[in-house]
Structure 1
């Protein structure tokens, strides 16, 4: 469930927004103390922010700059300031979108969903730099794979292979898909090279205590499973 933080001092609008987005399975938070917006942001750690510009004690533009230094969460301004200059300013300082009041909640929902898809979903550029599946943690920043208290370094190709397999647990990933993942064009490398790289991945999994999870579907590809 994605967490949305609504930073809006119009109490009615804030409550209506929380109620409406809550119907669509979002966990929605609002600001209780506008003197401590930064602290509440840190506490919630939202996946998306809906941000007004005219706020008590703070200016929304300044908050946007502060949030952007701390988080990659999409920020959508919702403001009565409808001029093109204001909208451009908001986007230039790091916001992802801008919606002008008054607006329909259907349009707001569409913008929220589009931002979440872009950053976290089907349109994201593999945005998760650290992710965990069944106790195996991959860190794309350090090229490390960890399990329990053991970790091991991965090559770039090994990281790509295990990432692809872990994102498709119990699903066969074809050899062609894996070759394209590694080199973009499958014609640039032969099947033997892929086999060697998969073997290396298996060996490194074994070294950190994860044994016999990578399986071969003969003539088709590979898959990873944690089922006995």
Structure 2
């Protein structure tokens, strides 16, 4: 049974979400005190977090960043805020997905099920081998990227996107293929979510001293070049 921590201060909504998800066999746990959310998170050790943005004491952005510093647990942000920048900020702080209110419980369950399947189920990263292009290697066991003795840690989404690019090195991968690789469906994913994650890939490569390896072509997609042929200044 997967354990879900639901952090939502609307008591009526949280009760409805809890009731609906528990029908599908999930163990949904609500925080006892909003003043001790971070401590309760560590105690509960959930498999997934549903996190509202507008909360008392600490907002969801703060908590998302705090959780991400302690854990790689998948985080789904929930908010009535529908502005693009709100979603971008959530993704940049480490959220795996963003659900805008109002939503149907069928949609919520679909997002939860897809996320759990990606992280723990049939689509989860397995094995402990390295995937390399030249001297640039992805370590599947530690979910990190290495290049000539340097290493950077990656989020699950960035890892999967980069793995797809490495497996297709030297060829363009369409935006649709990349979105489906990580989010299962292009229907409910804002196109800008992919752009944000691609920016994070470029930042990770830059930390390793590699620049210009990711090429993009409007209307086509993205391509990863071999580091031996890219710029490394």
Same fold per superposition (TM over 0.5): yes
How far apart are the structure 2 equivalents of 1:12 and 1:82?
21
Match of 2:101 in 1: 101
Does structure 2 retain, via aligned residues, the 8 Å contact 1:52–1:60? yes
Does structure 2 retain, via aligned residues, the 8 Å contact 1:78–1:98? yes
Does structure 2 retain, via aligned residues, the 8 Å contact 1:120–1:127? no
**1:69 Cα deviation from its structure 2 partner:** 1.2
1:5-37 alpha-carbon deviations (Å, 9 max, x no partner):
000000000000000000001000011100000
Match of 1:73 in 2: 73
Does structure 2 retain, via aligned residues, the 8 Å contact 1:119–1:127? no
Match of 1:52 in 2: 52
How far apart are the structure 1 equivalents of 2:79 and 2:141?
37
Match of 2:92 in 1: 92
**1:127 Cα deviation from its structure 2 partner:** 7.9
**1:96 Cα deviation from its structure 2 partner:** 0.4
How far apart are the structure 1 equivalents of 2:83 and 2:141?
40
Q: What is the TM-score of this pair, normalised by structure 1?
A: 0.55
Say which SS state the counterpart of residue 73 (structure 2) adopts.
coil
Which protein is bigger by CA-based radius of gyration? 1
1:105-135 alpha-carbon deviations (Å, 9 max, x no partner):
000000000110111011111289xxxxxxx
Q: What is the TM-score of this pair, normalised by structure 2?
A: 0.54
1:104-183 equivalent positions in 2, closer than 5 A = 104-126=104-126
Say which SS state the counterpart of residue 62 (structure 1) adopts.
helix
Q: How many residues align structurally? A: 132
Change (3 A) 1:141 1:98: closer
Confirm whether residue 2 of structure 1 aligns to residue 2 of structure 2. Answer: yes
Q: Which has the higher contact order (CA 8 A, sep 6+)?
A: 2
Match of 2:34 in 1: 34
Does structure 1 retain, via aligned residues, the 8 Å contact 2:127–2:141? no
1:182-202 alpha-carbon deviations (Å, 9 max, x no partner):
xxxxxxxxxxxxxxxxxxxxx
1:162-220 alpha-carbon deviations (Å, 9 max, x no partner):
xxxxxxxxxxxxxxxxxxxxxxxxxxxxxxxxxxxxxxxxxxxxxxxxxxxxxxxxxxx
**1:141 Cα deviation from its structure 2 partner:** 6.7
Say which SS state the counterpart of residue 32 (structure 2) adopts.
coil
1:40-74 alpha-carbon deviations (Å, 9 max, x no partner):
11111000000001100001101001101111111
Say which SS state the counterpart of residue 108 (structure 2) adopts.
helix
How far apart are the structure 1 equivalents of 2:100 and 2:31?
20
Q: Point out where structure 1 has 5 or more consecutive residues left out of the alignment.
A: 129-139, 143-228
